[in-house]
Amino acid sequence: MKWSDWPRGTHVESRWHSIVSRGQIPHAFLWVGLEGTGKTPLAWTLSQALLCPHGRKLYPCESCETCKRVERLSYPYLWFIPPTGASLPLEEVFHKFHQVIQEQPFLSLIEWELLLLEKKGVLSIGIESVRYVQSLLKLAVPNSAWRIVIFWHAELMTKQAANALLKVVEEPPPNTLIFFLSTRMEALPTTLRSRCQIWRFPSLTPEELSSLAGEQLSAAYLSMAQGSYGRLRRILDPAQATYINALREWLRGILIQESSENLATAIDTLAQAPRLSELLLMGVSLIRDHPHLSLPQKAVGMELLLKLADEIEANLQPLLLLWETTLALRTQWRLPAFDKSWLSG
């Protein structure tokens, strides 16, 4: 893996080189930013650089046995700790995560949840995971090699787990680096955050998203992605195309006061979407960035779609809720003529 393989890679490389040159490698990082901005692959690349015996901790040579094992996630002193579900065997979960993340470095929490639980469930990083890490850190490491623990989506760590981990973060074993990758810094206790070096990862620019996708993207797609390549990847997934088009046709139909027959087709399709709540959040982005809606209209529309997403998460009737929201939006959005290509181009 190269630093330049990932968004903002050269920036992270520069910061890391500065730390190494000063001899001030921290014992814990807290990396915070929107999901899909590259935190996971960059933490993985940094780990490879630190563990490589030939790169002076600055860059991975990519050809030695250590680099190859790190890239395969078979190196014995590098551990990803993802959130898991209750009663699932930890080692089995970790092994599955290592397999999946190699294929999808921008794996989303929703995708992991579906893979692990096959349906909606509750994921967390619990006390069992922390005890597992504590047992790993007691193992002897040959030749004073580094060992690295990466907590993926650390915002899902339970309070009990965070408290149990505090002593390890305060007084880690020698040559140990712990990563907390999180979308919400405030979800972690202040006592834990204060012992970490915090790096913030901004949303990706439209240019960066287009570069990663390998094509120039429409304004609507960029709006829905919200600066996240993980979300953009799901938007561009051919399996999602039908539902993405239905979302845009639904909003477009409401805006231009289209016939109920056409709206019904879009709503029926949306109601079958496997990730409807996430689609609705994409719809919030489209409303926020629409050039012809007034601020009050945007506020009402975004509020209604966020409420709808919450109700869908609560397993309420999607078809009925979509029609209720349609009627509410039609009442609120009475617009003069405007460029109708925004949601369909």
Q: What is the pLDDT of residues 67-78, one digit of tens each?
A: 999 999 999 999
Asked if 45 and 1 count as a contact pair (C-beta separation under 8 A), the reply is yes
* Mean pLDDT along residues 205-218: 86
**How confident is the model at residue 314, as a pLDDT?**
76
**How confident is the model at residue 254, as a pLDDT?**
86
**How confident is the model at residue 18, as a pLDDT?**
94
Same domain, 272 and 167: no
3-class DSSP state of 169: helix
Per the confidence metrics, is the pTM higher than 0.85? no
Amino acid at 265: T
Same domain, 25 and 116: yes
Same domain, 167 and 256: no
**How confident is the model at residue 59, as a pLDDT?**
87
Task: Quote the domain boundaries for residue 284.
Answer: 237-332
- Confidence label for 337 from pLDDT (cuts 50, 70 and 90): very low
Quick check: is 209 in a domain? Answer: no
- The DSSP annotation for 43-92 comes to HHHHHHHHH-TTTTTTS--SSSHHHHHHHTT--TTEEEE--B-TT--HHH
What is the CATH number for 159? 3.40.50.300
Same domain, 31 and 123: yes
Count the domains in the chain. Answer: 2
The Cα–Cα gap between 247 and 262 comes to 12
**How confident is the model at residue 338, as a pLDDT?**
46
Where is the domain boundary, 144, 176, 202? Answer: 202
Quick check: is 41 in a domain? Answer: yes
Same domain, 30 and 125: yes
- Confidence label for 339 from pLDDT (cuts 50, 70 and 90): very low
pLDDT digits (tens, 9 = 90+) for 257-282: 766 778 889 999 999 988 888 889 88
Same domain, 159 and 268: no
- The DSSP annotation for 195-245 comes to TSEEEEEPPPPHHHHHHHHTSPPPHHHHHHHTT-HHHHHHHT-GGGHHHHH
Quick check: is 214 in a domain? Answer: no
Considering the chain, what is the average pLDDT of its residues?
88
Quick check: is 13 in a domain? Answer: yes
The Cα-based distances of 10 to 25, 29, 39, 237, 296 in angstroms read 18, 18, 13, 28, 41
Quick check: is 220 in a domain? Answer: no
- Confidence label for 119 from pLDDT (cuts 50, 70 and 90): low
The Cα–Cα gap between 39 and 315 comes to 31
